[in-house]
Structure 1
Amino acid sequence: MYRWGRWPLTINLLIAAACLLGLFSTIGASLPYPILPPLFASGVGNGLNSFLGLPPKMLFGLALTINPLGLLIGNTLLGPLSDRYGRRPVLMLTTIGAALGHMLTALALLLESYPLFIVARFGTGLLEGNGAVVRAMLADRLEGDLRVRAMSWLNGAFYLGWLAGPLLAGATVVWGITVPFWIAAGALVMTAALVALALPREAPSLATTSWWHVARHQHAFHLLRHADLRKLFIVQFAYTCGVTAFYEFYPLWLVEYPGYGAPGIAWVTAALCAVMTCTAVFAGRPSRFAPLQRATWSAFACATAIAAVALGHVWLGLVAIVLFGIPNAFYNAIVPGWCAERFGALGQGAVMGLLSTTFCLANIVMALVGSVLTLLDTRLILLLGALLSAWAAWRLRGWRVQMAGAGAASLPARP
């Protein structure tokens, strides 16, 4: 373990490799965000938005749901599997597999096959659920302030991927709707080669005898038998429901209200992700305020930004979309580091997998709910997201007060 200060070159390479892996993974995941809304909401018929005669907005909601469903399963299993078989082999296999998934997505778009698109996005999500493995890799080898800062840098890499992905889509879709996905596939193949070169080999754990045993008995949800982790899951689920409602449906809001197409969505998303990336650079620095206190403030600020998009004027909504990145970057720098310190003894892969799985489950739930609410008004799903994030902030505040009270009660009485 290494703390903040001077550390070997191998630790620098480890952090750099983790950040690059996070960057290229999220570039591929974020590509469809500026591409899909015009395909499903522009009013122009095609093979994707006319499948089985279903409403295009419903098909859009289902298309948003399927990738997070794969992420949900992947994050549930890949973290614990990496505890058993090692971070390096799991990361290499999943990265190459995700590249193949993007190739299949490109083929589905070329054929305008909605079923093939769904299969491709599910498989890609399943294999891109390796973010928990990357976080666990850092949590294994770092501790203290260095761990918190490295987690923050990794979050910054993920945010930069959300920036680069939409920009890549907006810049290259003019040459063909499949071009961004081929570029993403190539980037992931190069990332797999980097993982092979940069990450140390590991001896697999002898704690279990098969991957099936891990899948059945060491998945992330197995941690919910612990009371504090159940409480964390409920709060995190509410917060991430609010965040995913925002992520999934503000592009649709941009199509319906400002009237933006794929390039406009890409530029707004780029501004949002640039703000998140810049904020993540310093969001993990030590603070005199308690982690849960800072997380509470961040969650309240996120809820306010989402509500401004749902209820405000178009220009207020555009500003709120971009500024949302500041409190969200702080929240995502604080909570994983706090969880690593508090629950790491239960297995960093499983703990980080639980956080990532919660996000994926929220994606699925809000995509399904949103596919119904947007038939009435897109702003309804955004308003619901704001309410859920505000409730999570309120629960975090109560949890912090409860923990502070329990800590004070355990102190010996003064004579």
Structure 2
Amino acid sequence: MKKSLIVIFTAIVLDAVGIGLIFPILPSLLKDVIHADNVAPYIGTMTALYAVMQFICAPVLGALSDRLGRRPVLLISLAGAAVNYLFLAFAPNLWMLFAGRAIAGLTSANMSVATAYLTDITPEDKRAQRFGLFNAMFGIGFIIGPVLGGVLGDHWLRLPFVAAAVLNGCNLALAYFVLPESRAPSRERIDLAALNPLRPLRWVFSVKSVLPIVFLFLIFSATGEAYGTCWALWGSETFQGNGLWIGLSLGAFGVCQTFAQAVLPGPAVRRFGERGAILVGVAGVCLALTVMAFATEGWMIFAIMPVFALGGIGVPALQSLATRQVDENQQGQFQGVLASAVSLASIISPLAFSSIYFVVRAQWPGAIWLSVVVVYALGGLLVLGLRLTKPVAASVAS
């Protein structure tokens, strides 16, 4: 048991480091490949392509992990991630970059399968504690990744992608040689209808009271995608920041967010209630984004990180509020709907925010953050208008 936990937690850290490595340097790679300065549309399209493949294929891989066992699906996923980074490291043209991201999205089951694996080996009374550690491991990796990527990218543009491929190769070897299977293969046939990624969304329209909650998750997920899409572009063009500056700023953002989500949600909910805690989080993020929009010096971004961190209390408070809107028998289905909303946001948001950045970058790159403020403000208005209900039962949409 301890060996399996160590392998899973190590795999999560290495996976998060690999993801974070590429953020500071991806704009520079695209500029090098396509020989153009404005690469925002390409970043948005690459991010959306990954999300589309993930949205379509995640149900298939999840069902396969129930049928074939967790280990083989996890190994396929890790191998796909390593191939993706090798494509990015050595791609001489644009189509190979897109092919790499498509492969990564196709095989992006490592986090979900790792979660299922952890559930398999953990007694119910210890799951909350271990899932907390699980999230902490990802946070640690995502703090290290951007900083390391910025440093490596300043030495050689392709080096962060080589490092990410090596990390995923280590992940693959660790899982192959050390990780035992946690679930015996099933002989039951896979329900092909359950693989439809749009199926969970049909249930929303049978329980109208949860629609505002789903829209809130969609809004907050969409705003979160703006950072990964535009941060590196904005930092390099506003402050002429190198890879190290971008990596450090993303790392500082990760540290503050991790701390806020680990420490602040409980006290905030006790003091302000769930609705109030969400609004405090929205207000903190909007204030920080407004400062970012008008910032003229790089140090200002680090100065506002504590305010930015207040946003970390919003989503946990929303998650807590959301769980009380349906009865216990529908929690799994409701969480599936919310996961689908997050996936849809990951498809739509990068395309939208990269297009906005394409329009504003020449005159005022920081205006991108005001567009994010507008979306957050819409979410805040929706929170104020929520009519919370007692848990309701509804038939499963088939």
* TM bucket, shorter chain: 0.7 to 0.9
Aligned to 2:56, which of 73, 78, 81? 73
CA shift digits 1:287-328 (9 cap, x unpaired): 646556544433443333223322455458513763366234
> Which runs of 5 or more structure 2 residues have no equivalent in the other structure?
392-398
1:273, distance to aligned residue in structure 2 (A):
1.5
In 2, are the aligned partners of 1:87 and 1:133 still within 8 Å (CA)? yes
1:29, distance to aligned residue in structure 2 (A):
2.1
CA shift digits 1:25-57 (9 cap, x unpaired): 2222222211123345xxxx643244xxx9544
The whole-number CA distance in structure 2 between the counterparts of 1:159 and 1:363 is 19
The whole-number CA distance in structure 2 between the counterparts of 1:315 and 1:176 is 23
Aligned to 1:183, which of 155, 163, 166? 163
Aligned to 1:47, which of 20, 33, 57? 33
The whole-number CA distance in structure 2 between the counterparts of 1:336 and 1:150 is 18
Name the structure 2 match of 1:35: 25
In 1, are the aligned partners of 2:54 and 2:107 still within 8 Å (CA)? yes
In 2, are the aligned partners of 1:343 and 1:351 still within 8 Å (CA)? no
The whole-number CA distance in structure 2 between the counterparts of 1:224 and 1:320 is 41
Name the structure 1 match of 2:81: 98
Aligned to 2:112, which of 125, 132, 138? 132
1:128, distance to aligned residue in structure 2 (A):
2.6
Letter in 1 for 2:368: I
In 2, are the aligned partners of 1:80 and 1:220 still within 8 Å (CA)? no
Q: Does 1:157 align with 2:137?
A: yes
Q: Identity percentage over the alignment?
A: 20
Letter in 2 for 1:251: A
**Inter-CA distance 357–46: structure 2 relative to 1 (3 Å threshold):** same
Q: Does 1:385 align with 2:365?
A: no
Letter in 2 for 1:99: A
In 1, are the aligned partners of 2:229 and 2:350 still within 8 Å (CA)? yes
**Inter-CA distance 38–194: structure 2 relative to 1 (3 Å threshold):** closer
1:234, distance to aligned residue in structure 2 (A):
1.3
3-state SS of the aligned residue for 1:374?
A: helix
3-state SS of the aligned residue for 1:375?
A: helix
Letter in 2 for 1:122: A
3-state SS of the aligned residue for 1:47?
A: helix
Q: Does 1:237 align with 2:218?
A: yes
In 1, are the aligned partners of 2:282 and 2:380 still within 8 Å (CA)? yes
In 2, are the aligned partners of 1:98 and 1:128 still within 8 Å (CA)? yes
In 1, are the aligned partners of 2:28 and 2:157 still within 8 Å (CA)? no
1:239, distance to aligned residue in structure 2 (A):
0.9
Letter in 2 for 1:119: A
1:254, distance to aligned residue in structure 2 (A):
0.9
**Inter-CA distance 122–346: structure 2 relative to 1 (3 Å threshold):** farther
Name the structure 1 match of 2:239: 258
**Inter-CA distance 79–234: structure 2 relative to 1 (3 Å threshold):** farther
Name the structure 2 match of 1:369: 352
Aligned-pair Cα RMSD in Å: 3.7
The whole-number CA distance in structure 1 between the counterparts of 2:138 and 2:257 is 10
Name the structure 2 match of 1:359: 342
Letter in 2 for 1:37: P
> Which of 123-132 and 93-102 deviates more?
123-132
The whole-number CA distance in structure 2 between the counterparts of 1:107 and 1:319 is 34
The whole-number CA distance in structure 1 between the counterparts of 2:158 and 2:191 is 35
In 1, are the aligned partners of 2:17 and 2:145 still within 8 Å (CA)? yes
> Which runs of 5 or more structure 1 residues have no equivalent in the other structure?
1-9, 408-415
In 2, are the aligned partners of 1:291 and 1:338 still within 8 Å (CA)? yes
In 2, are the aligned partners of 1:152 and 1:333 still within 8 Å (CA)? no
Letter in 1 for 2:234: W
Q: Could you state the TM-score of these two structures normalised by the residue count of structure 1?
A: 0.76
**Inter-CA distance 336–88: structure 2 relative to 1 (3 Å threshold):** farther
Letter in 1 for 2:77: T
Correspondence list, 1:316-331, <5 A: 318-319=301-302, 322-323=305-306, 326-331=309-314
In 2, are the aligned partners of 1:283 and 1:333 still within 8 Å (CA)? no
The whole-number CA distance in structure 2 between the counterparts of 1:285 and 1:190 is 37
Letter in 1 for 2:19: A
**Inter-CA distance 319–97: structure 2 relative to 1 (3 Å threshold):** same
Name the structure 2 match of 1:275: 256
1:335, distance to aligned residue in structure 2 (A):
5.2
- Aligned length, in residue pairs: 381
1:166, distance to aligned residue in structure 2 (A):
1.4
